[in-house]
Structure 1
Amino acid sequence: MDGETKLSIHVGSRKSELALVQTNFVIDSLKKNYPEKEFKIVTMTTLGDRVLDQPLPKIGEKSLFTKDLEDALMSKNVDFVVHSLKDLPTTLPDGLVIGAVFEREDPRDALVLKEKFKEYSLSTLPSGSVIGTSSLRRTAQLNGNYPQLKVVDVRGNLNTRLRKLDDEDGKYSALILASAGLSRMGWGNRMSKVLPCSEMLYAVGQGALAVECRADNDAVLAMLAPFNHPETYCRVLAERSFLKTLGGGCSAPVGISTKLKQNDNVYKLTLTGAVWSLDGSTKLEETLDQTFGQIRKTVKHKLSPTEEASSKKIKTDKTVEADNEIAVLNRRITEKTGDLGCEDLAPNVADRRCFCGLTVNVNMPIDVVIKCDNLGRDLANSLIDKGALEVMKISQDIIRSSIGKKS
């Protein structure tokens, strides 16, 4: 999308059914605000889709499900791409940013049992039952909490994995899957149990959809801005800052849990993070919290989908004067303070800062964004002080060693 007048928007997506459901959800949301735009989906496969005979950590590539999409974005074959946020590394390629994160679904994992075991739980399944997952994080927690079970890698898209589970002669007794994906597909009835965080911490960014675009594409960034959900942004920024500071990802077991609650006029963000050894025998966990006076700006973006008609008049008073350039200028002229030149009359100039790949959320006070970023970093540093990097390095060395033996 090279200019605001362009009506046709090309959207990159993986070919899987879940990816297309998620991409169409984003497009349908955008169409409500921009009915004059035409959105065309461009599908492609990624390395993670093509290499199915190896566990994800052993493929040795950080951007397994995103690189091909990002290549298309940088070559301007598409205008933006829709991702599951958990698939996006915390450091993006130069020139690319996350323009919006949509409101998060339930980020927790779900237990999906084979029909003949539907009355069981993880603790009551017969010893030796095979649990399928492609995640080191889930594997480590299962190994630590349920050593009587056998954890086996399972690859393929959501449909393929469920088909493997449903095979009467198949080896899997259960799968651990993201509850958000099942819900988006309309398969909530397949969930035997949504696993509480006390039993299974989830992946950074899990349950949230991210829209990635070029950092210099102001038209697309402006189009996405109203959909950058503040509460979700607050949580996932803290999570991504945590992971970035640790240097983790698919190469080590790292889990997270965030809670954002409002008490009276104060918001409290609580962040719990942990790292494990591959066998789950070692676990380091820490919890920190941060409080905010508010999460959303007093005056919302004029195109916010949760706002009433933009034609409605807004009363100007001291609480919104900072957002009213005329009022600001009048005050400065009266008080003879500040820069009275034209440069000082540009409050809408974009803040180009990025936080773990996320653009600044214009729907939030900037001090809240910075505090969320700092909270994740502080939590990671607390775990590092406990020896987290050493635990993670051992896991990474084991994975590299297993790759070397196969090659």
Structure 2
Amino acid sequence: MAGTTGTVTPELPLHMKRRRFDPAPELGTMRDEGRITRIRTPLGAEPWVVTRWSDVREVLGDAQRFSNAWMRSRPMPGMAERSPEEIATLRAGNLLTYDPPEHTRLRRMLTGEFTGRRMRRLEPRVHEIVESHLDAMEQAGSPADLVADFALPVPSLVICELLGVPYEDRAEFQERSGRLLNLSVPMAEREAAGAEQRAYMADLVAREQAGPGDALLGTLIREHGDDITTDELIGIAGLLLIAGHETTSNMLGLGTLALLEHPDQLALVRDDPEAIGPAVEELLRWLSIVHSGTFKVATEDTEISGTRIPAGDLLLLSLPAANRDPELLADPETLDVRRGTLGHVAFGHGIHHCLGAPLARMEMRIAFPALLKRFPDLRVVSADPAEERFRSFTVVYGMESLPVTWGGAP
């Protein structure tokens, strides 16, 4: 298989291997045997892979022993050589590259935009966006690509409106984020995509600084302009834009396929308003579309479940394996939307728990039942797994496309 430049696509690393909805069995074996071992990634790094639910929570919950801030001074494996100052500029504002107290300062500025009260104010607009895209699907007629026609544009429009990003630019930033997150794309191309995205965000921030609007970027500038740098604003905007549409869109696409294959559970999501909340939590746990989050670095010699981790070593957390740990819940391999177990790590844990989790949950609680009510006989065009197109090499797992039909169409 060739990449975009004709080069051979690297082998998929263990922590990204899936069998449709399921993580690689080897990860489950490592977890159940309590082993913490090294793997090699396409970037050339050899991190320790942590798979047990309690161990993953331990690492995520201890920013003092397991740091994110190394990424603001050291290049990622495979990156072009840059000075620590250049790297710090590139990473400025990206909350995933900060530890307290700097992380605390930036996150506090953003938290108010993602409170329950703010989400309730936004909810009517999300309903409008969902219904308008369902109207467009219905008017265009069957068949449709659920990813292109619904799962991707709905969260993209929501995050654009929340941030103050022009929605007409979505095709460009989606293409750039696709290159940026695809580990099969050569690092030079990924870095170029990152530079293009940063230039776009820099222009957007400059316009907002000249005349702050009512969306999130304008609010940050008005309320915290003296406490936040331009580079930090660019980084925050870039992170939220990518995270805001990539994660929820892939949950909607992959989650719909999972429900279509479990019709009794689909019926609950469609017909019982009380079922949708627990169903969203179970889909988040069972699918775990984010393979690992960011690399951590051990700040001191330490141990995890009896395995010695030397200071300076990288750690990679397998979120899908942790969320299928019997320590978390009984029968973890089974999808059961009725249980809605809390405590999963699909959104992370600790200080880096996903800032946009309330928004993602709200979008899914609205979108899933609306889709299934509008098209009660929704089905996949082809049931042949060989024709399914999954995003195997991307940081966020999901589907490239999902052809669906309804009514009397074949």
- Report the TM-score when normalising by structure 2: 0.24
- Report the TM-score when normalising by structure 1: 0.24
Higher RCO (Cα < 8 Å, 6 or more apart): 2
